[in-house]
């Protein structure tokens, strides 16, 4: 199994868990769990593959990915009530999924010899769009739009770290490791310590 496939399987599994947790908060049935889990898990990777014109979208080429999402949905359906705070669990699982999905997007773009701006964009898309779809469908404020939180910023920084590491070391493993660690460190810091970037604040017009 290639490194890209491993990253895709890992991100699909963890993002599917977050989707199922969101479904539990919305009190959906088992089919709803499977739908939200699958949408979350493959949404970003699907958009990535379409934009990069892959011969087949990854989960169509390997339907086993859908089996992973269905299994995650089933697991959460019967165990979500055991969690003290499902939203807190969702946030931390989502941070781990982000740290796996961003390297997956970066890895594919690098393997196709895409220029640096495209590598950055593919990392961000793969990491953020599945969660964005999940939150919109479940009528939640998308995490990517939470004021000041490091989410898209974490994905951007992780993708940039991969490019810098590859330029210095020329090793895919080092680049993807730097990507994952940077992404997760920033997202986890935002959750645990309240790390923020300054946000825009409108000013009253001058008289």
pLDDT, one tens digit per residue, over 170-202 is 888 999 999 999 999 999 999 999 999 888 888
Average pLDDT over residues 125-152: 92
Residue 25: count other Cβ atoms within 10 Å of its Cβ.
13
CA-to-CA distance for 58 and 87, rounded, in angstroms?
29
Side-chain-side CA neighbours of residue 179 (13 Å): 33
**C-alpha triplet 59, 65, 70: angle, nearest 5°:** 125
Break the chain down into helix, strand, coil percent, rounded to 5: 75, 0, 20
Full-prediction pTM beyond 0.85? yes
Kindly state the greatest CA–CA separation across the chain. 65
The predicted pLDDT at position 107 comes to: 94
Report the length, in residues, of the chain.
207
């Amino acid at each position: 199994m290639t490194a890209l496939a491993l990253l895709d399987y890992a991100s699909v599994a963890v993002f599917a868990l977050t989707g199922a947790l969101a479904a539990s908060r919305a009190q959906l049935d088992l089919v709803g769990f499977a739908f939200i889990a699958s949408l979350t898990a493959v949404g970003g990777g699907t958009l990535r593959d379409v934009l990069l014109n892959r011969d087949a979208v990854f989960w169509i080429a390997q339907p086993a990915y859908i089996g992973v999402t269905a299994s995650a949905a089933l697991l959460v359906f019967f165990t979500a009530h055991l969690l003290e705070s499902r939203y807190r669990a969702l946030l931390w699982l989502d941070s781990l999924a982000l740290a796996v999905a961003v390297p997956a997007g970066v890895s594919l773009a690098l393997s196709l010899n895409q220029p640096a701006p495209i590598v950055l964009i593919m990392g961000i898309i793969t990491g953020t769009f599945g969660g964005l779809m999940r939150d919109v469908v479940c009528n939640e404020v998308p995490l990517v739009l939470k004021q000041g939180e490091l989410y898209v910023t974490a994905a951007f920084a992780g993708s940039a770290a991969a490019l810098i590491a590859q330029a210095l070391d020329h090793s895919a493993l080092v680049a993807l490791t730097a990507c994952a660690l940077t992404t997760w460190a920033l997202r986890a810091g935002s959750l645990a310590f309240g790390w923020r970037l300054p946000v825009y604040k409108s000013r009253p017009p001058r008289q």
